[in-house]
Amino acid sequence: MEHLPEFIRHHPFYVALIVAAAVAVLVYELRQRAHHSGAIGAQDAIRLMNQGAAVVDVRPAAAFAAGHISGARSLPPEELDKAGVVLKRYKDRPVIVYCERGISAATTVRNLGALGFSRVFSLRGGLSGWRAENLPVVTD
């Protein structure tokens, strides 16, 4: 530890590189946490569904008809601006939102949170993640 100031003086490039790498890792981790702040895995989603959570599919209607999670309600992209009105009775209940891969659902979670929904989650990995865990999908 006594040679640290000497090392810093003699190797400023390496020190700057280490600091830049540490900052990059910190920024990456913070962005990942912010992006997945409302994301839950399939097993947690099942637990919430068993406790009465509403499940909302934000994929297009054709994709919903081709296969969806049992008990899910379809809210196609063209109706997302009405989500607060359509889902108002679920405002105090857990709401699980999913899309195909989990990207569109994260945006919907943020929008519902801004509308006052306190317990909104996105399904991590979306329906693809659900299928990857060999969980059932129903068709209309």
Residues with catalytic roles:
99
Total residues belonging to the chain: 140
Contacts of 72 (CB under 8 A, 6+ apart): 55, 56, 57, 64, 98
In angstroms, how far is the first alpha carbon of the chain from the final one? 67
DSSP 3-state assignment of 1? coil
